[in-house]
Amino acid sequence: MTMHAEASPTPVPFVVNDAVRRKMKHEKIAKGIFATMIVLMLLPLIGILGYLVSQGAPLISWDFLTTNPAKGMTQGGIWSALLGTIWLVIVSLCISAPMGVMAAVYLNEYARDNWFTRIVNLAVVNLAGVPSIVHALFGMGAFVLFFDMGRGILAASLTLAVMTMPVVITSTREALGAVPMSFREACWNVGATKWQTIWKIVLPNSISGILTGVILEISRKAGETVPIMFTGAVFFKKIQEGDFFAYGLNDQCMALSMHLYTVTTQVNGAPRELPFAVATVLIVSIILINSTAIATRAWLRSRKKW
Amino acid sequence: MRAKRPGYAVFAEKGIEWIIRLCGISAIIFVFGIFFFVFREGGPILWEKGTDFRLGDFFTSTDWYPTSMENKRYGILLLIIGTFTVTGLSILIAVPFAIGGAIFLSEFCTGKVKEWLKIIIELLAAIPSIVWGFIGITVINPLIQSWFDVPVGLNVLNASIILALMAMPIMVSIGEDALKAVPDNYREAAVALGATRWQMIFRVLLPAGKNGLLAAVLLGVGRAVGETMGVLMATGHSLNNPYVKLDGSFNPMWMFESCRTLTATIASELGETSVGSPHYRVLFLIGIVLLTITFIINLTADLVVKGIRKQK
Amino acid sequence: MVSKIQVQNLRTWYGEKQVHHGISFHVEPNEIFGIIGPAQSGKTTLLRAINRTFEFTAGTRQEGVISVDGEDVKRVRDVYELRRKIGMVAPLPVGLPLSIYDNVAFAPRSAGMRNKGELDELVERCLTQAALWDEVKDRLDSLGTKLSGGQQQRLTIARALSHQPEILCLDEFSIAIDPVTTMRIEDVLKVLKKDMTIILVTNLVQQARRLAARTMFLWNGEIIECDKTEVIFGGKPADKRTHDYVNGIFG
């Protein structure tokens, strides 16, 4: 079969002519423009955050974190605000994390594809889109007044829990969906029940996605202001310094985010650095929490089992 | 010798499955609960006797004097104008950057750079709105004052910049997903026909991904409409129609006027009302208005996304 | 004598698409029953209907009666008990993301077996029966998903044996494994026949010829012919299509 060799065309060499050069230039320009776009978007933001942190950092010390605000909040530290935020996050996480994970398990493992499931999905999407101020109104109308909890950590945490649950639902669902169907079928075939399959195989193998969702939820809760404003957070409250359990479940509390609002807009005569320092604590903790989520995800992905 | 599961295990499993079902439908319960409880507090104003509330004036009047002694007025037109002005301008600012960023991420960027950019964008999306408000007051406020030589930097422009910065990360990541969903063979076909990258993006990629990008923009709008603390701090929060000068003529400098939004009004006034008073109820009614607006936006975005799935 | 499995007038649908058009057959205890037929003729669906995993797929529907040991599978009290009675081996190997040991111990543990000694013994026996024990006995703690394809398929067989089934269904088990291993497993099947009923779904007609006592030819959801293997492969089957298929003329 020498025919073949003879018939094959001589390869066209790649010539860099004007047209190609123009095309490559176009390419470069396009890339340059879009890169500029994203840099223009990100750089000022990072610059601003850097500026805030540089202004606030000098004031931050161990004392700043562990003493109550003093003298009409113009002096002292942020202890009661910090502790309030921590407790709000812990209590609401205890409610929304298990509920969110189970809701995702229902939607991904139990729900059949019918009109009811579509409505549930729609509800999750819309719940995520409800403005925080409306959640605040809901929390006040439902938890504070109707269920008569009064303003306090419990009511505020419940409001936060309802608000941030979609975060966990969405990320957990994504993680559950990534577990291959064949694993489930293999388990059903050997007589495992639905729940045994979920507990032994599906959940352990979607843990990275679930954890990421939960950690993101933490940072979301820590930063919110509006939902807790009318349900449990107060401008000022003095608590026992150094006592981690200084707040009770039904106590009103201070919160970092709310404290930043207060010292920025409501307090006169505070040193210029004070609000910067509060903002820095908030920003740094949220970036740390989110970085933990990203690192966890990367780490757990690296030891994926299939 | 086949083993038998103990009875309690079977029973416990049934219990767990019921709890899961209950949690599964909790989202519906919450959505209805939100409507119910917000309406429960705000609704009675519509039929309560002896208040100065007129439904006709509610949407059309610019008079918002809820605390006036003898002449209470509940017109939210100025607040609606404020909300839509700030939202509109912020979307105008954000869209080019967000779409540009999404295109860069999905088309020009690979490997480590892409990974890091996505991480940074994710981190920025997590910055709480109160911090954005603080940035509006301490950073953008003086910048606007010096650049545009205006006396007050807390205005429509400031709030719009803040909102744009807040909405951008979410718009970029959803927009990138939308562009990623455009099949690779579209791109290959365009390039094979001799199109430059530039032409490929504008003639093929953007038209093919337009639904997803639209959904991204809509979600950005939803977020901007509902944003509270940032706009409360950055708009200046004064009851004012930015488009009208004192003498009643059109104000070309509207961007540098202060305004007030629906969300910020609730946040700043609810704390000072007594439970059950007309003012209190009207604030909840504003909540229902907000809820309705965001619901429509989110449903539209959802339908747009569903439309994409159907086409495939 | 009661048939091990009795299928009467089975009709199944995926949504609007009908898979089986009313098929009836029976399987005797301790026989190897071969099912042959081209792709898309409803072989896998049939197995899924027998152990009732068919109903997990959304939009499916089923009519007719399948009974195992004279009991209608739709009416069994404990469906998990039914599934444990039936060992199922899927065409593509599925190692669960657990250790090799846990892969095999998964089913008995789900059934409530907790005794370590019993489990150890069971795991060893099943892995030996699946011709895998010698290769993995020193690394029972390593992940089942990290085994090679052929090893994973034998692991799947070991797992199917782990709940001591009375019926073993093999669905084209040799797709992913090499001929030598296939032959080893076929030898194992001949031994297992003493303890259990085996349904062998295969697209290798010669495999059915080697192993099965009786063979059924399923085509487009209908039984073309079901008879002793010698008859099916004997050159004079009742239906010409059977002859054409087993001789590779179509399919």
Rounded distance between C-alpha atoms, residue A189 and residue C93, angstroms: 13
Q: Per the CB < 8 Å rule, is B2 touching C84?
A: yes
Give B61→chain A minimum CA distance, Å. 23
Rounded distance between C-alpha atoms, residue A31 and residue B201, angstroms: 11
Strand-pairing partners, residue C170, are: C89, C200
Helix, coil or strand: residue C114: coil
Interface pTM, i.e. ipTM: 0.87
Rounded distance between C-alpha atoms, residue B154 and residue B147, angstroms: 13
User: Tens digits of per-residue pLDDT, B1-35?
Assistant: 455 677 777 788 888 889 998 888 888 999 999 99
User: Tens digits of per-residue pLDDT, A264-299?
Assistant: 888 777 788 888 888 899 988 888 888 888 888 888
Rounded distance between C-alpha atoms, residue C32 and residue A8, angstroms: 56
Q: Per the CB < 8 Å rule, is B228 touching A133?
A: yes
Q: What pLDDT score was predicted for residue A3? A: 44
Rounded to a whole number of angstroms, the CA Rg of chain C reads 18
Q: Per the CB < 8 Å rule, is C112 touching B6?
A: yes
Show Cβ contacts of residue C192 under 8 Å, excluding neighbours closer than 6 positions.
C129, C161, C168, C198
Q: Same domain, yes or no, for A298 and A182?
A: yes
A124: chain B residues, CB-CB within 8 Å: 27
Q: How confident is the model over C70-74, as a mean pLDDT?
A: 82
User: Tens digits of per-residue pLDDT, B140-159?
Assistant: 888 888 888 888 888 888 88
**Which percentage of chain A shows pLDDT scores above 70?**
94
| pLDDT tops 90 at residue C18 | no
| pLDDT tops 60 at residue C159 | yes
User: Tens digits of per-residue pLDDT, B30-55?
Assistant: 999 999 999 988 888 888 777 777 77
For residues A97 and A217, is the Cβ–Cβ distance under 8 A? yes
Q: How many domains does chain A have?
A: 2
Residue A153 falls within a domain, yes or no?
Answer: yes
Domain positions in chain B are: 7-46, 79-274+298-311
Residue A49 falls within a domain, yes or no?
Answer: yes
Rounded distance between C-alpha atoms, residue B160 and residue B88, angstroms: 8
Q: Per the CB < 8 Å rule, is A190 touching C90?
A: no
Q: Per the CB < 8 Å rule, is B2 touching C111?
A: yes
Two tokens, residue A15? 């010539």
Rounded distance between C-alpha atoms, residue A143 and residue B37, angstroms: 10
User: Tens digits of per-residue pLDDT, C83-131?
Assistant: 888 888 887 778 888 888 888 888 888 888 888 888 888 888 888 888 8
Q: What pLDDT score was predicted for residue A161? A: 93
**Confidence grade of residue A14 (pLDDT, cut at 50, 70, 90):** low
Give B263→chain A minimum CA distance, Å. 6
Two tokens, residue B34? 């939100």
Kindly report which listed range (B192-201, B275-284, C45-54, C238-247) carries the lowest average pLDDT score: B192-201
Q: Per the CB < 8 Å rule, is A186 touching C156?
A: yes
Residue A270 falls within a domain, yes or no?
Answer: yes
Q: Same domain, yes or no, for A118 and A215?
A: yes
Q: Per the CB < 8 Å rule, is A193 touching C80?
A: yes
Cα end-to-end distance, chain A, whole Å: 47
Q: Same domain, yes or no, for A66 and A52?
A: no
Task: Give the alpha-carbon dihedral of A106, A110, A112, A118, to 10 degrees.
Answer: 0
Residue C251 falls within a domain, yes or no?
Answer: no
In this predicted model, which residue has the larger pLDDT, A81 or A268? A81
How many alpha carbons fall within 13 Å on the CB side of residue C106? Answer: 32
Rounded distance between C-alpha atoms, residue B89 and residue B83, angstroms: 10
Residue A4 falls within a domain, yes or no?
Answer: no
Interface of B with C (CB under 8 A): 1-6, 9
Rounded distance between C-alpha atoms, residue C118 and residue C126, angstroms: 12
Q: Per the CB < 8 Å rule, is C112 touching B4?
A: yes
A42: chain B residues, CB-CB within 8 Å: 117, 120-121, 124
Q: Per the CB < 8 Å rule, is C113 touching B3?
A: yes
Residue of A nearest to C162 (CA): A190
C156 at A interface, C-beta within 8 A:
yes
Rounded distance between C-alpha atoms, residue A57 and residue A278, angstroms: 9
For chain A, counts of helices (H) and of strands (E) = 13, 2
List C-alpha distances in Å: A301 to A169, B113, C58.
20, 19, 31
Residue A253's CATH number: 1.10.3720.10
Strand-pairing partners, residue B74, are: B64
Rounded distance between C-alpha atoms, residue B157 and residue B258, angstroms: 9
Q: What pLDDT score was predicted for residue A160? A: 92
Q: What pLDDT score was predicted for residue A89? A: 92
| pLDDT tops 80 at residue C171 | yes
C156: chain A residues, CB-CB within 8 Å: 186
Strand-pairing partners, residue C34, are: C200, C215
Q: Per the CB < 8 Å rule, is A192 touching C58?
A: no
Which residue from A182, A190, A306 is facing C159, i.e. has the nearest CB? A190
Q: Per the CB < 8 Å rule, is C111 touching B9?
A: no
C108: chain B residues, CB-CB within 8 Å: 3
C114: chain B residues, CB-CB within 8 Å: 3
Q: How many domains does chain C have?
A: 1
Residue C54: DSSP 8-state: G
Give A57→chain C minimum CA distance, Å. 47
Helices assigned H by DSSP within A190-244: 194-197, 207-223, 226-229
Give B241→chain A minimum CA distance, Å. 23
Show Cβ contacts of residue C150 under 8 Å, excluding neighbours closer than 6 positions.
C93, C176, C177, C178, C181
Helices assigned H by DSSP within B126-227: 129-135, 141-148, 156-180, 184-192, 197-199, 206-208, 210-226
Two tokens, residue A61? 């010390």
User: Tens digits of per-residue pLDDT, A217-241?
Assistant: 888 888 888 899 888 888 887 787 7
Please calculate the CA angle B225-B296-B178 and round it to the nearest 5 degrees. Answer: 80
What domain range is A23 assigned to? 15-58
Q: What pLDDT score was predicted for residue B36? A: 92
Which residue from C81, C83, C143 is facing A189, i.e. has the nearest CB? C83
Q: How confident is the model over A111-138, as a mean pLDDT?
A: 87
Exposed, middle or buried, B185 (CB in 10 Å: 0-12/13-18/19+)? exposed
Q: How confident is the model over B121-133, as a mean pLDDT?
A: 86
Testing the interface with C: which of A107, A112, A113, A190 to mutate, by most C Cβ within 10 A? Answer: A190
User: Tens digits of per-residue pLDDT, A140-185?
Assistant: 988 988 988 888 899 999 999 999 998 889 889 888 888 888 888 8
Q: Are strands C60-68 and C167-171 parallel, antiparallel or unpaired?
A: unpaired
Q: Per the CB < 8 Å rule, is B3 touching C164?
A: no
List C-alpha distances in Å: A238 to A234, A253, B172.
11, 9, 43
Report domain B79-274+298-311's class: mainly alpha
User: Tens digits of per-residue pLDDT, B168-180?
Assistant: 888 888 888 888 8
Q: Same domain, yes or no, for A95 and A203?
A: yes
Give B207→chain A minimum CA distance, Å. 18
Which phi and psi angles does A226 have, rounded to 5°?
-55, -45
Residues shown for chain B? 312
Q: How confident is the model over B201-230, as a mean pLDDT?
A: 84
**Cβ contacts from A onto C, under 8 A:** 71
* E runs forming strands in chain A: 69-70, 75-76
Q: What pLDDT score was predicted for residue B310? A: 58
Residue C190's CATH number: 3.40.50.300
User: Tens digits of per-residue pLDDT, A249-263?
Assistant: 888 888 889 888 888
For residues A95 and A186, is the Cβ–Cβ distance under 8 A? no
Q: Same domain, yes or no, for A30 and A84?
A: no
Rounded distance between C-alpha atoms, residue B19 and residue A65, angstroms: 40
Rounded distance between C-alpha atoms, residue C235 and residue A183, angstroms: 42
User: Tens digits of per-residue pLDDT, C74-88?
Assistant: 888 788 888 888 888
